Amino acid sequence: MEPNIARVLLKPNKEDKKLDKTSFPSCQFEPSMMVNMFPGPALLVDGDMNVKHHNIFAKGLLGPIRDQEAFLKSMISRCLSNICPDTQKATLDDSSGLRHYDLYAFPIKQNQIPNQVQNQATAAPLVFLFGRETTVEHNLTNALVDSRQMFKDLVSCSTDFAWETDSNGNFIYVSPKGILGYTAFELNGRNAQEMIIGAERRNPFDTLDKVTEMELWLKRADGSMACLLVSAVPVLDSHATWQGARGVCRDITHIREKEALLRRTNKREHILNKIIATIRNITSPADMMENALKAAMEGIKADYACILEKTSGGGGDFAAAVRQEQGTLPDQDLIYTLCLKAREVWQNCGKNIGKTQIFQLGTLQVMMGITSHHAKDNGAIFLIRQNGDWQDDEIHLFSGVTSHLGIAIEQVITHKELERRAFTDELTGQLNRRAFTTEVTKRIKGQVRSRTAGALLYIDLDNFKNVNDTKGHAHGDRILKELARIINENIRIGDYSARLGGDEFAIWLDDVTEADALFKARKFIAAGSQLAHIADVAGPQLSISVGLALSQPDNPQTFDNLMKNSDDALYQAKSAGKATCVMYDPNASLTTDPITGQQKEESNA
């Protein structure tokens, strides 16, 4: 309301004064009493924003008034200058968070100001400022808005179809995506009964009782049939009067079609069962592939069959490896063509390319199936024959074979991965202790025949804990990987290296002398400076200590003895100041120059 208009409306008319001859009992308005009795924040403020009186609920407003907040100062100024009430919504931030108020300001005439207030200051006009805290209402409104938005988001993201009908069975709300080829706009206001196939069926769209997962056949927009799984509840008003129903639907037509397809394939089940049993009962990966392919060719007449495995090629590309084949091809170059065809499908996965394809290569009839496991392509199977088209029953059977073969290929891949993990360290790619023990034991036994010596190097990182504590375990893992790379670059084919655990590594050097082994150990110690540079830590620096033990053909030892001897030598190396190497000698107590690595013998006698 404009201030001038408000002043005119509030100003009494002279004629109204003449007509108003009613006399009321004389009473005095006590604003201070109103302030004290008001159930919300209330106070008396003058034009200079000085608080003259307030109640206990007004503490939240004292700070903004003291700080002369612009909106409060403007509100009080308008009230005094216009001599009319003023109102405003306000949001204040205090220690407990945001608080919301509806504030009202009323001017107080001079004769209404109580004596105790007048005595405290000059007779300046005052404003009766009071309000109502609406924080709870505001938060509740926001919560309701957020809750409604969350419901709308969930409904729009859900694969199910949500709906609500009125008392006439007409849709008054449907999911934005629509269903059965109808848009939400087309369904809104449509009677649900018109879509149901079979008038005698119970209608869950106007149900009076709760309905749970009721199967119902409805007409699609194109006139075809669809099977829906419907759950619904009745809608009642506050007087328990039925107003309609609401619920959700799920299209399960594809499930029912698959069930019908399974019933039609009962005649072919015995063939599939044979193939499944073959895959299930054979444990060897090679035998599993061979027998699966034989079983497929027994059920489907073909001149040639092969199984391809999808492998990773260079640059993130795919490669095809022939794992099993049966029969003969008129031209062996056709295998390359089949591999290219499989790669083409693998690279275009997700582009609506069929998993089972039939095509011709010259005069040959080819049926290709892409195998997968957990929706991920892992291989392919090809059947080829020279005469006769593929029949529907053969195509259906081939689809079943392809499906189960995907599991078999995955088992082969998993078997190879388990073998790799059983013998290698996951972080560094080195052999693990078990594999290292097996291989070195074979070499030790072979020394009697080869008459060559070998050496076992026990490598340990000095002050590695400082790296983990300072830079974290991820940085420590980087050091371990770098050490593994250095080891791989400095050993020959026929040597073995392993990560024994933590920061401990072992190397078997085949056909070496003591001098060769010490030379190799010093190279690893020198590489410690490179690792220290990568570690880049303060305090004790990273370095490498090596303990060595020789295995002579004239004095054969067990692997455990060699490990113990090299471990003892490593202990001596660390005791000598670290960053050095020590060759184990059972007849002498060894000390080693930490700079040159030269050994000094001290007799035990």
**Residue that is written with structure tokens 């804990």 in the block:** 465
Same domain flag for 474 and 556: yes
More confident residue, 415 or 459: 459
pLDDT digits (tens, 9 = 90+) for 268-317: 777 777 777 777 777 777 888 888 888 888 888 899 999 999 987 655 67
State the Cα–Cα distance between residues 394 and 391, nearest whole angstrom.
Answer: 5
Please check the confidence at residue 14 and state whether its pLDDT lies above 80: no
Residue where one domain finishes, among candidates 78, 98, 132: 132
Please check the confidence at residue 262 and state whether its pLDDT lies above 50: yes
Mean pLDDT for the stretch of residues 121-141? 81
Torsion sign, CA atoms 225, 226, 229, 234: negative
**Residue that is written with structure tokens 């403007």 in the block:** 74
State the Cα–Cα distance between residues 214 and 478, nearest whole angstrom.
Answer: 59
Same domain flag for 462 and 585: yes
pLDDT digits (tens, 9 = 90+) for 62-104: 888 888 888 888 898 999 888 899 998 888 887 777 888 889 9
pTM value is 0.43
Same domain flag for 399 and 445: no
Tokens of 52: 């003259």
- What is the predicted pLDDT for the residue at 18? 55
- What is the predicted pLDDT for the residue at 314? 59
364-373 and 242-251: which strand pairing?
unpaired
pLDDT digits (tens, 9 = 90+) for 529-582: 899 888 888 888 999 999 999 998 888 789 999 999 999 999 999 998 889 999
Number of domains in the chain: 4
- b (16+ CB within 10 A) / e for 574-600: bebebbbbbbbbeeeebbbebeebebe
Please check the confidence at residue 21 and state whether its pLDDT lies above 70: no
Local confidence band at 598 (pLDDT 50, 70, 90 cut-offs): very low
Same domain flag for 252 and 269: no
Strand 581-583: give its sheet, edge to edge: 496-501, 504-510, 454-462, 543-551, 581-583
**Residue ranges making up the domain that contains 247:** 158-258
Same domain flag for 331 and 272: yes
- What is the predicted pLDDT for the residue at 156? 66
The CATH number of the domain holding residue 112 is: 3.30.450.20
Local confidence band at 245 (pLDDT 50, 70, 90 cut-offs): very high
Tokens of 266: 């009962």
State the Cα–Cα distance between residues 399 and 369, nearest whole angstrom.
Answer: 7
State the Cα–Cα distance between residues 54 and 63, nearest whole angstrom.
Answer: 13
**Residue that is written with structure tokens 């069926």 in the block:** 201
Residue where one domain finishes, among candidates 233, 258, 283: 258
Same domain flag for 389 and 277: yes
* 19 part of a folded domain: no
State the Cα–Cα distance between residues 261 and 193, nearest whole angstrom.
Answer: 30
What is the average pLDDT value for the chain, to the nearest integer? Answer: 83
Please check the confidence at residue 25 and state whether its pLDDT lies above 70: no
Same domain flag for 293 and 346: yes
* 145 part of a folded domain: no
- What is the predicted pLDDT for the residue at 413? 85
State the Cα–Cα distance between residues 264 and 392, nearest whole angstrom.
Answer: 12
Torsion sign, CA atoms 409, 415, 416, 421: positive
pLDDT digits (tens, 9 = 90+) for 389-427: 898 878 888 888 888 888 888 888 888 888 888 889 889
* 427 part of a folded domain: no
More confident residue, 174 or 317: 174
Same domain flag for 407 and 272: yes
The CATH number of the domain holding residue 356 is: 3.30.450.40
Same domain flag for 309 and 452: no
- What is the predicted pLDDT for the residue at 366? 94
Residue where one domain finishes, among candidates 258, 283, 305: 258
Same domain flag for 456 and 579: yes
Please check the confidence at residue 233 and state whether its pLDDT lies above 90: yes
- What is the predicted pLDDT for the residue at 27? 52
Same domain flag for 456 and 583: yes
Same domain flag for 44 and 193: no
Is-contact 582 566, C-beta < 8 A?
A: no
Cα Rg of the chain, angstroms:
45
* 421 part of a folded domain: no
More confident residue, 475 or 159: 475
Please tell me the least confidently modeled range out of 9-23, 325-339, 491-505: 9-23
Local confidence band at 476 (pLDDT 50, 70, 90 cut-offs): very high
* 149 part of a folded domain: no
Q: Say what angle helices 59-66 and 70-82 make with each other, to 10 degrees.
A: 90
* 437 part of a folded domain: yes
Strand 126-133: give its sheet, edge to edge: 51-54, 42-46, 126-133, 97-108, 86-94
* 512 part of a folded domain: yes
Local confidence band at 22 (pLDDT 50, 70, 90 cut-offs): low
The CATH number of the domain holding residue 514 is: 3.30.70.270
Mean pLDDT for the stretch of residues 378-385? 92
Local confidence band at 28 (pLDDT 50, 70, 90 cut-offs): low
- What is the predicted pLDDT for the residue at 19? 54
* 450 part of a folded domain: yes
